[in-house]
Structure 1
Amino acid sequence: MLALRKALVALVAAATVTAGLTTVGPASRAEAAVPTTIPLEIKNTSGRSDQVYIYNIGTLLSTGQQGWADANGTFHAWPAGGNPPTPAPDASIAGPANGQTKTIRMPKFSGRVYFSYGQKLVFKLTTGGLVQPAVQNPSDPNVNILFNWTEYTLNDAGLWINSTQVDMFSAPYAVGVKNTAGAVKNTGHLKPGGYNGFFNALRGQPGGWANLIRTRSDGTVLRALAPGHGIEAGALPATVMNDYINRVWSKYSTSTLTVTPFADQPGTKYYGRVSGNVMNFTNGSGAVVTSFQKPDSDSIFGCYKLLDAPNDLVRGPISRTLCAGFNRSTLLTNPNQPDTSSAGFYQDTVTNHYSRKIHAQMVDGKAYGFAFDDVGNHESLVNDNNPQTAYITLDPFS
């Protein structure tokens, strides 16, 4: 799903002003009879006594306007912002208490459902749109609030909703969808003990990875930053992937990396060879179709910059394959990419340990540990063309 990958790359790029929120799923198709709004059941099994606040913000697909939806699913456009940013209207919805469920309505949005514990989130508006929380910024007004979000698109073709850790691992939750036939799909649940298990594992990982953890002054563990944000914040060395990058560049200066980016098009192949600081990819005719400069760690973790992935049919698909191979450290063990079998993921000592440890704690093994974790279908996403009800479960902090 290129639209989802593209959207998540934009998130990892840490743009805090959004002209249009996340697109999860394909463009609208009028042939599906999806209601104007569907119920979203939010169940609180967190074990926490804090007041929960819910926010449903996004782009109204029928008009392209940005705004928020109230508990009834009614759309409200954001007013004009300013410079410096001005406070956004209070879009919060009181969430369910521990052990309770609250049902709100989701309109045909492409956006996010935020939830916070104990405090309302701070949203502001600039002349360019909504300023969303930037957890890697120590001066962000939300930096000491415990919160998380899911991304979704509801359109005429159905519902796509994910559990994402692309920016951070924080308050645990799972998502689900029930279709009109009564079938339910869900993803995002941690194993018993998985929340603490992840943080304990990250604390024990040498090389600066423990520095990704952010704790409030009262001792509350708030989140672990994704490694790209960790580099930006100075918590993780910018050179953390260099050894692996150098070995990949060395290997493919004397051998060929074959990329078959589309599972349903096995005849579409591209061939990568390194010359100097550049990996050139050729097609079956030998013509160079795109080239990549030697990436740095941030480009790998963010799947952007030197691994930019435009939403096209050549460079983007090759780039997402490289990004997945670097993060999962499969490029040295398999010259035919993508490697879609999780058995070989994260086996090198130099790898995306943040993503590795998240996947290890998931019930179904699926997560969005980095932007292109959907390469090979290892992402925590559910979709249905005939959604009846969506679900968010606020899971235990254990």
Structure 2
Amino acid sequence: MLRTLRSRLTAAAGAAALVGTLLTLGPPAQAAVPATIPLKITNNSGRGEPVYLYNLGTNLATGQQGWADAGGTFHPWPAGGNPPTPAPDAAITGPAAGQSATIRIPKFSGRVYFSYGQKLVFRLTTGGLVQPAVQNPSDPNRNILFNWSEYTLNDSGLWLNSTQVDMFSAPYAVGVQRSDGTTVSTGRLRAGGYSGFFNALRGQPGGWANLIQTRSDGTVLRALSPLYGVETGALPRTVLDDYINRVWQKYATSTLTVTPFADQPGTRYYGRVSGGVMNFTNGSGTVVTSFQKPDADSVFGCHRLLDAPNDAVRGPISRTLCAGFNRSTLLVNPNQPDTTSAGFYQDTVTNHYARKIHAQTVDGKAYAFAFDDVGHHESLVHDGSPLQAYLTLDPLS
């Protein structure tokens, strides 16, 4: 997740900062975002184990990687090694079941991890922090129940989300108290949604149940994302081939129109497949970018053959394609992106992981793949002058 969503949160925050700069001669500016804001963590999990919190990321003022303590003070990581060396213990004691605790988060682009029963293991290489990677059987965190939220806090405000891009695990909701005192939240599962998701995944033919990881004591720990399912062999690499092939066949004889910016309806690109390559042209007929036929890895990860750089043309087209493939809307709608979810995940070949997560959330929103924000279907809260942020640990039921 870090390689995709984090970069887009930072890009969004940077774009907002640029807009703010351009508007300095206009209306009075909103109140400045303080150096830290409170994050209230409420433990509604019903679990009796101790909870450990971690606030890890990049200091936006210095570009340094490190961690923040409960008071929001930043601590840069020391030099790592090869092989990796143990990172300093950055754990913050979290609230007991039924209790709340408040920490302060600084201007960061990072993650707030939480774990049940055991502290997480972090190590440092010469290139920086090694994040948990539980798709690896030897990862020291594989048998720990944990999850994380991602956020960016900068001079333009707070962006905070719940994420399932890497895995679906211990449930939680996020929220923000806005400058006017109102509170918005997202990410909460329906009653019974946690077990409902796993039961639904177990019932999905085609190897989808293989995404589930269970501890030796029977505890269900998580479901890996289909990207990691393909990478580890839990899902066959051909799992999306039928749909991808049908898309390529359709647009060999018809045109796919992409309007990537909701606020720029006149900016359109037109895709046609020729010689096995989908070429996109602008309104003048000039080819602006091209895509080889993707595979499941590229679709689930929104990378490789569907790489999405932070530019004004290829990235926006690619993210639209990625969303259309994951939601299986490209065959039924030649005008992308879709703005409503009514037609999502209707093909028998689709991202069933994402489909089942969205079905279990109260508001239908989730970050089940990297560009789930196309059309604003992501579980994200934002405010330009946040008073307080919230992270609520929900029941595993």
TM-score (norm 2): 0.95
Give, in angstroms, the shift of residue 10 of structure 1: 1.7
Q: Which residue of 2 is the match for residue 4 of structure 1? A: none
Give, in angstroms, the shift of residue 276 of structure 1: 2.1
Name the CA distance, whole Å, in 1 between partners of 2:103 and 2:316. Answer: 37
Secondary structure of 1:26's counterpart equals: helix
Give, in angstroms, the shift of residue 9 of structure 1: 7.3
Name the CA distance, whole Å, in 2 between partners of 1:301 and 1:200. Answer: 22
Name the CA distance, whole Å, in 1 between partners of 2:276 and 2:368. Answer: 28
Conserved in 1, the CA contact under 8 Å of 2:258 and 2:270? yes
Greater Cα offset, 276-285 or 356-365: 276-285
Conserved in 1, the CA contact under 8 Å of 2:345 and 2:352? yes
Q: Which residue of 2 is the match for residue 323 of structure 1? A: 322
Matched, 1:204 2:203: yes
Could you tell me which runs of 5 or more consecutive residues in structure 1 were left unpaired when the two chains were aligned. Answer: 1-7, 13-17
Matched, 1:344 2:337: no
Matches within 5 A, 1:101-120: 101-120=100-119
Name the CA distance, whole Å, in 1 between partners of 2:384 and 2:254. Answer: 44
Name the CA distance, whole Å, in 1 between partners of 2:238 and 2:349. Answer: 11
Matched, 1:26 2:13: yes
Name the CA distance, whole Å, in 2 between partners of 1:214 and 1:70. Answer: 31
Matched, 1:10 2:27: no
Q: Which residue of 1 is the match for residue 25 of structure 2? A: none
Name the CA distance, whole Å, in 1 between partners of 2:43 and 2:11. Answer: 24
Matches within 5 A, 1:222-371: 222-371=221-370
TM-score (norm 1): 0.94
Name the CA distance, whole Å, in 2 between partners of 1:296 and 1:10. Answer: 19
Q: Which residue of 1 is the match for residue 26 of structure 2? A: none
For 1:137, the aligned partner's letter is N
Name the CA distance, whole Å, in 2 between partners of 1:310 and 1:111. Answer: 20
Matches within 5 A, 1:69-218: 69-218=68-217
Conserved in 1, the CA contact under 8 Å of 2:9 and 2:159? no
Name the CA distance, whole Å, in 2 between partners of 1:311 and 1:176. Answer: 27
Name the CA distance, whole Å, in 2 between partners of 1:75 and 1:41. Answer: 18
Could you tell me which runs of 5 or more consecutive residues in structure 2 were left unpaired when the two chains were aligned. Answer: 22-28
Q: Which residue of 2 is the match for residue 374 of structure 1? A: 373
Name the CA distance, whole Å, in 2 between partners of 1:221 and 1:233. Answer: 19
Give, in angstroms, the shift of residue 65 of structure 1: 1.1
Q: Which residue of 2 is the match for residue 15 of structure 1? A: none
Conserved in 2, the CA contact under 8 Å of 1:80 and 1:125? yes
Number of residues paired by the alignment? Answer: 385
Give, in angstroms, the shift of residue 23 of structure 1: 2.9
Conserved in 2, the CA contact under 8 Å of 1:9 and 1:302? no
Name the CA distance, whole Å, in 1 between partners of 2:281 and 2:179. Answer: 46
Give, in angstroms, the shift of residue 339 of structure 1: 1.2
In structure 2, relative to structure 1, the CA distance for the partners of 1:160 and 1:22 (3 Å cut) is closer
Name the CA distance, whole Å, in 1 between partners of 2:384 and 2:89. Answer: 32
Conserved in 1, the CA contact under 8 Å of 2:175 and 2:381? yes
For 1:49, the aligned partner's letter is G
Give, in angstroms, the shift of residue 64 of structure 1: 1.0
For 2:146, the aligned partner's letter is F
For 1:196, the aligned partner's letter is S
Name the CA distance, whole Å, in 1 between partners of 2:256 and 2:106. Answer: 44
Give, in angstroms, the shift of residue 21 of structure 1: 11
In structure 2, relative to structure 1, the CA distance for the partners of 1:11 and 1:84 (3 Å cut) is farther
Deviations along 1:211-263, one digit per CA (max 9) or x if unpaired, are 00000001000000000001111100010000000000000000000111111
Q: Percent identity?
A: 78
